[in-house]
Amino acid sequence: MHHLDLHGPLITDFFWSFLSLVAMRKLLLLSSSSYHGAEGFLGWCGDLLTEFLGKEVSRVLFVPYALFDYNEYTTTVRDRLKQLGYEVDGIHELENPLQAVEQAQAIFVGGGNSFRLLKTMYDHRLVDAVRKRVLQDGMPYIGSSAGTNLSTVSICTTNDMPIVHPPTFEALALVPFNINPHYIDPDPSSTHMGETREKRIREYHMYADRPPVLGLREGSALLVLGDKAVLKGPTGAKLFKPKEEAEVFESGSDVSFLLK
């Protein structure tokens, strides 16, 4: 397995060559598909989804690679998005996944295991294709949990177990930082003796040249439009930078500085 090289050709040559095209970038990065107190799958973010996709999109290409049962996952997403007025094509249902990405109006990458998701994306040669469609063509990208991890610099800040081995941890780099979905604040009353999520992120930042990590609480989302980024949803986020105190941002906060 390759080690993440933040100065390697994937991150530097590609990302900076498309810097002038970020005005096309349109991302909705969900921490989770479910939120305690909200009814049903994607129940907490229906308005966000319809506002994000708008009327220009009628069909969404869904990527279920992060879970084992592609058909069941796609059916769940199809039923929910149909309620919102959108048709869904499962990428695994189509003969040519690469062509499906090239022709998609919008893409939704679902949650599950980030390692399985990234490996399968590389297996089907879809990483470069999705990156190009989003950054060059302005194709809307929705990620949830693992799909949100996929949109960042790497999957190094996922909560998942490495059940398979992708060729690299480098991901789509649609944004120049990492995200930790399902972020949970330390509970001072907890009797749990293992590391907190915050400690895990601090471990990641013990090594040089690591980007910031945005801890997205469940019920939060990051909306990115061009060079603007705003937190959405009923909860906020916590930002971690190497050798700095963590900073809390409430819903509605402008965090566009993360895109610089």
Q: Please provide the average confidence, as pLDDT, over all residues in the chain.
A: 91
Q: Report yes or no on 120 lying in a domain.
A: yes
pLDDT tens digit sequence for 181-213:
999 987 777 777 678 889 999 999 999 889 999
* Spatial contact of 122 and 2, defined as CB atoms under 8 Å apart: no
Phi, psi (degrees; rounded to nearest 5) at 198: -60, -40
Long-range contact list for 40-48, CB < 8 A, 24+ apart? 40/80, 41/76, 41/77, 41/80, 42/77, 42/80, 42/144, 44/219, 44/233, 44/234, 45/221, 45/233, 46/83, 46/84, 48/221, 48/223, 48/232, 48/233
H-type alpha helices, 177-218:
197-204
pLDDT tens digit sequence for 222-254:
999 999 999 999 999 999 999 999 999 999 999
**The pLDDT value given to residue 194:** 72
* Spatial contact of 6 and 205, defined as CB atoms under 8 Å apart: no
Of 32, 34, 151, 160, which is the active-site residue? Answer: 160
Q: Report yes or no on 4 lying in a domain.
A: no
Q: Report yes or no on 2 lying in a domain.
A: no
Task: Tell me, yes or no, if 58 is annotated catalytic.
Answer: no
Q: Report yes or no on 99 lying in a domain.
A: yes
Q: Report yes or no on 35 lying in a domain.
A: yes
Number of structural domains, the chain?
A: 1
CATH number at residue 14: 3.40.50.880
Per residue of the chain (260 residues), give pLDDT as tens: 444 454 444 554 544 454 555 668 999 999 999 898 777 899 999 999 999 999 999 999 999 999 999 999 999 999 999 999 999 999 999 999 999 999 999 999 999 999 999 999 999 999 999 999 999 999 999 999 999 999 999 999 999 999 999 999 999 999 999 999 999 987 777 777 678 889 999 999 999 889 999 999 999 999 999 999 999 999 999 999 999 999 999 999 999 999 99
Task: Tell me, yes or no, if 182 is annotated catalytic.
Answer: yes
Q: Report yes or no on 25 lying in a domain.
A: yes
Of 31, 32, 33, 145, which is the active-site residue? Answer: 145
Task: Tell me, yes or no, if 2 is annotated catalytic.
Answer: no
Q: Report yes or no on 5 lying in a domain.
A: no
- Identify the domain containing residue 233 by its residue range: 10-259
Of 128, 182, 253, 256, which is the active-site residue? Answer: 182
| The two three-digit tokens of residue 112, written as one number | 């599950």
Q: Report yes or no on 1 lying in a domain.
A: no
Q: The pTM is what? A: 0.90
